[in-house]
Amino acid sequence: MSAKLIDGRSIAEKIRNKLRSQLLLRSKHRKPAPKLAVILVGEDPASEIYVRNKHQACEDVGITTLDYFLPKTLSQKKLLTLVQKLNKDKSVNGILVQLPLPKHIEADVVLEQLDPRKDVDGFHSFNLGRLAQERPQLRPCTPYGVMLMLEEIGQRFKGKEAVVVGASNIVGRPMALELLAAGCTVTICHRFTKDLAKQVGRADILVSAVGKPAFIKGKWIKKGATVVDVGIIRLPDGRLTGDLEFTEARQKAKWITPVPGGVGPMTVAVLLKNTLLAQELQGKR
């Protein structure tokens, strides 16, 4: 058996095409384009690439961007002042603070300052809380992107065993909440989990978000499982890889995501979707 690939690029393109048409229609009705403010502090090369990609993706569908490239010496106080200013600015619909922030800035404090209705990454405790209560508003981009991918392949959720490896606030935890809301029986594994192989082996739906290459062994995977690899790791030779022992995992799974070309493009597509939703939420205030 060789698993079918879940093509994140083409699913994301479909989402972007739909958004582009929606925004075109809105502009014909003289509604302003949504505006996303993107804040990058410091000169982390990976973050610079992410910000550039997000900027391009926004332009491509008709979302306006306002980029802030700030020095790595910027104080937390100044960053908070900027966030407050953008919160108040009615022309700004979404605010994205690119992580990681320099060590002297507490990311939690900054993210908590965002107006939850402008929190297009879905990281604010309000948005995580709403997801936990099955009343989501702005949903964390990567986990929501995974759900949209799984829906696209016709994945059934109710009563399925879902195992999420990784429990971070931005991927693992909200991923588990998404799968729970969809009706799965969910297990969350993390660095203290005993017998990971046994847990992984129970999964009808496996999502790995750890960030260690070839960490999930192909032989652990249940035959016929749907396997989603959120991990993105740059190898010393420059190639990108995920958490899975991919070739071996593909022999066991029914569906599998590649890295690159899997979850990554979905995250950006959901960011765009969230920016439009943020504008709509603000219109209702």
Starting from the edge strand earliest in sequence, which strands make up the sheet with 226-229, in order?
4-5, 255-256, 226-229, 205-208, 161-165, 185-189
Is 229 one of the annotated active-site residues of the chain?
A: no
274 binds ligand NAD (CB under 6 A): no
Residues from 112 through 151 that contact ligand NAD (CB under 6 A): 142
Q: In this structure, what are the phi and psi dihedrals at residue 109, rounded to the nearest 5 degrees?
A: -65, -45
Among 94, 122, 140, 231, binds ligand NAD (CB under 6 A): 231
CA separation for the pair 32, 26 (Å, rounded)? 8
H helices then E strands: how many in the chain?
10, 11
Q: Contact region for ligand NAD (CB under 6 A) — 84-92, 178-186, 231-239, 272-280?
A: 231-239
44 is catalytic: no
Size of the residue set binding ligand NAD (CB under 6 A): 23
Distance of CA 45 to CAs 14, 49, 72, 221, 265, Å? Answer: 29, 6, 13, 35, 19
Beta carbon of residue 20, minimum distance to ligand NAD (angstroms, whole number) = 21
Smallest separation, CB 166 to ligand NAD (Å) = 4
Shortest approach of ligand NAD to residue 104 CB, angstroms?
19
Q: Residue 163: what residue type?
A: V
Both tokens of 128, joined, read 């995580």
Contact between 226 and 150 under an 8 Å Cβ cutoff? The reply is yes
Exactly one of 115, 119, 121, 204 is catalytic; name it.
121
- Check binding of 201 to ligand NAD (CB under 6 A): no
- Nearest approach in angstroms of CB 47 to ligand NAD is 12
Q: Peptide bond preceding 260: is omega within 30 degrees of 0, i.e. cis?
A: yes
Q: 165 forms bridges with which residues in the sheet?
A: 189, 208
Kindly indicate which of the ranges 29-37, 86-94, 128-136, 205-213 contains the residues binding ligand NAD, using the contact rule CB under 6 A: 205-213
CB nearest ligand NAD: which residue? 211
Residues with catalytic roles:
54, 98, 121
Where along the sequence are the contacts to ligand NAD (CB under 6 A)? 142, 165-168, 170-172, 189-191, 193, 196, 209-211, 230-233, 263-264, 267
